[in-house]
Amino acid sequence: MSDKRAKDRLDGPRDPDLLERITDRNPSRLGVGRAGSRPRTDTLLEFRADHGIARDAVLTNVDEGFIEETGLVKIGTLIEDTEEYLARPDRGREISAETAEYLREHCEEGPEVQLVVADGLSSSAVEANVPDLLPILLDGLADRDLRVGTPVFVEYGRVDVMDAIGEELDADCCVILIGERPGLASAESLSAYLVYGPERGGPTAKKSVISNIHQGGLPPVEAGAQLVDLIAEMCERERSGIDLREDDREFVTD
């Protein structure tokens, strides 16, 4: 989006180089000028357009063809539609008994690593990043001789649905690639949340996260490679989240 914004700069700045250095620093709406006390028409339209993109990312669904091509087993949560998804995060974390049954039928049970992809709050993030991230991740996990289960796609999923899936499939470790809540700078940002020993109701402190995955942030290929190392470390040390970084923290007693 920032290249689109480039035209929308102050007219006749005294020091264009300086302005460019400031506006290049981050994708915020800097140096966009004003019309009286209001934003200029261009700026306002762009803001609306970006907002529209963010809303679309939340409100649209991941393309069926994409899920099939990627070879993911598709399931749902307890959620019926987008409205309910937004209103009831709790129902986005759970799967029905039938879905659990379906999972066990179609997926390998007891894997060392269970991979889950979920739309979360941005279906665009999934479509934009998963095609480059997933193959790097699968290559890397194969190099480490880790037994990877059947990758699953969850529609209307929240982060903690990974606990339900991991528990049902009896996975040692579960990883979910999920669309982040979109901002006005990027609607294509993905996160990976990881947990060792997934169980329903487990504390967030036991989860690890790598966020801001998109071409303008942490590139999806590099994120995939980082996840390989992190997953290998989790499996080796049999822990995740804060427990994994325990030795980094200094506790002062007495």
Partner 1 sequence: MSEHRLTSVGIDVGTTTTQVVVSELEVREPAGAGKLEIVSREIRYRGTIHETPLSGPETVDIDAVARIVEDELAAARVEPSGIETGAVIVTGETARKDNAEALVHRIASEGGEFVAAAAGPALEAVLAGQGSGAATRAKERGEIVANADVGGGTTNVALFDADGVRDTRCLDVGGRLVRFDSEGAITGVSEAIRGLADDLGVDLEPGTEPSTEDLDRLAGAMADCVIDAITGPPFSDRTASLAIGSLPTDPIEVDGVAFTGGVGRLVHGDPTDPFEYADLGPTLAAAIRERAAELPLLDLDETIRATVVGAGTRTTELSGRTVEVDESLLPLRNLPAMGVGDLPEEDLETRLEGVIGEATERYGPDEPVVLAIDDVGPLTYDRLTRVAAAIDTVWTADGGGRPLLVLTRQNCAKALGQALRRRSDGRPLAVIDEVGVADGEYLDIGRPLDGGETVPVVVKTLAF
Q: Was 159 annotated as part of a binding site?
A: yes
204 binds, among partner 1, ligand B12, none (CB under 5 to 8 A by kind): ligand B12
Tokens of 224: 């995939």
Nearest Cα residue to 176 out of 100, 115, 104 = 115
Q: Give the residue with the Cβ less far from partner 1, 82 or 226.
A: 226
207 binds, among ligand B12, partner 1, none (CB under 5 to 8 A by kind): ligand B12
217 binds, among partner 1, ligand B12, none (CB under 5 to 8 A by kind): partner 1
Residues that bind ligand B12 (CB under 6 A): 89, 120-121, 158-160, 178, 180-181, 189, 191, 193, 204-205, 207, 209, 211-212
Distance CA 72, CA 74 (A): 6
136 binds, among partner 1, ligand B12, none (CB under 5 to 8 A by kind): partner 1
| Helix-then-strand count for the chain, H and E | 9, 6
Least gap, CB of 87 to ligand B12 (angstroms)? 12
Least gap, CB of 51 to ligand B12 (angstroms)? 17
Residues that bind partner 1 (CB under 8 A): 15, 17-18, 21, 26, 131-132, 135-136, 139-140, 143, 212, 215, 217-222, 224-226, 228-229, 248
Burial classification of residue 64, based on how many CB atoms lie within 10 Å of its CB (0-12 exposed, 13-18 middle, 19 or more buried) = exposed
Q: Where are the beta strands (DSSP E) in the chain?
A: 73-76, 113-118, 152-155, 173-179, 190-196, 207-213
DSSP class of 215:
T
Q: Give the residue with the Cβ less far from ligand B12, 91 or 181.
A: 181
Q: Give the residue with the Cβ less far from partner 1, 27 or 76.
A: 27
Annotated binding site: 159, 180
